[in-house]
């Protein structure tokens, strides 16, 4: 079902959620976003889209893909205009997200960082060499306890270091 929702709508929905949170006691200067798989891709997109986001953590979200009317751009296309740093947590054995795409993203972020984009410069990746896709999903055979726990610790520390937690 989520594959049928346009990225534009998802960004607007997230903007609405942040607005709602701000109107109901939330601090819109401490916005963090995290997501897994499809949501990992959305994490990258929203960190580029919203000036309110302070930090993101993307769990194995694809960074490249074929553009479509629903998903006209991918994280790699938007990396140079990232507004918040993202921690990417990926599996080295992920058959759907080749390491070459992660390395392409690293290169674009590094180049953007050299040009003065602090969010791009401060973004990081952790690749767990033996982990497959969905290594944090404890209800699937792909679950890897050590990597999942390490990633969770890193995510919490990332949000704290960037003023979200």
- Phi first, then psi, for residue 57 (nearest 5°) are -130, 115
Euclidean distance between CA atoms 156 and 28, whole angstroms: 18
Residue 154 has pLDDT above 80, yes or no: yes
Q: Is residue 49 annotated as a catalytic residue, yes or no?
A: no
Asked if pLDDT for residue 1 goes beyond 80, the answer is: no
Residue 2 belongs to a domain = no
> What average pLDDT score do residues 141-156 get?
98
Active-site residue, 162 included: no
- In Å, the largest CA–CA distance within the chain is 44
- Read off the pLDDT band of 131 (50, 70, 90): very high
Q: pLDDT tens-digit profile of 55-71? A: 999 999 999 999 999 99
Total domains in the chain come to 1
pLDDT reported for residue 127: 98
| Residue 9 main-chain phi, psi, to 5 deg | -70, -40
Question: What per-residue confidence (pLDDT) applies to 125?
Answer: 98
**How much of the chain exceeds pLDDT 90, in percent?**
97
Sheet with 124-128, edge to edge strand ranges = 31-36, 53-59, 86-91, 124-128
**pLDDT, tens digit, 9 for 90 and up, residues 75-109:** 999 999 999 999 999 999 999 999 999 999 999 99
What's residue 112's pLDDT? 96
* pLDDT at 2 (0 to 100): 75
The CATH number linked to 41 is: 3.40.50.1820
Instruction: Report the mean per-residue pLDDT for the chain.
Output: 97
Q: Which domain holds residue 155?
A: 29-161
Which one of 49, 133, 136, 162 is the catalytic residue? 133
* Residue 42 within any structural domain of the chain: yes
57 inside domain: yes
Q: Pick the catalytic residue: 37, 49, 136, 162? A: 37
Q: Is 7 part of the annotated catalytic residue set?
A: no
Token pair listed for 55: 């930090």
């Amino acid at each position: 079902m989520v594959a049928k929702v346009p990225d534009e709508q998802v960004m607007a929905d997230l903007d609405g959620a942040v607005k709602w949170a701000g109107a109901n006691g939330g601090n819109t200067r401490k916005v963090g976003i995290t997501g897994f798989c499809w949501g990992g891709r959305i994490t990258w997109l929203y960190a580029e889209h919203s000036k309110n986001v302070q930090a993101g953590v993307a769990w194995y979200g694809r960074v490249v893909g074929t553009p479509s009317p629903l998903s006209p751009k991918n994280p790699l296309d938007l990396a140079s205009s990232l507004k918040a740093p993202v921690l990417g947590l990926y599996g080295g054995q992920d058959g759907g997200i080749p390491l070459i795409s992660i390395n392409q993203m690293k290169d674009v972020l590094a180049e953007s960082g050299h040009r003065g984009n602090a969010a791009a410069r401060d973004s990081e990746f952790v690749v767990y060499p033996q982990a497959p896709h969905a290594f944090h999903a404890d209800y699937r055979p792909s679950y890897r306890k050590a990597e999942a726990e390490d990633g969770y610790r890193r995510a919490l520390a990332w949000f704290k270091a960037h003023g979200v937690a």
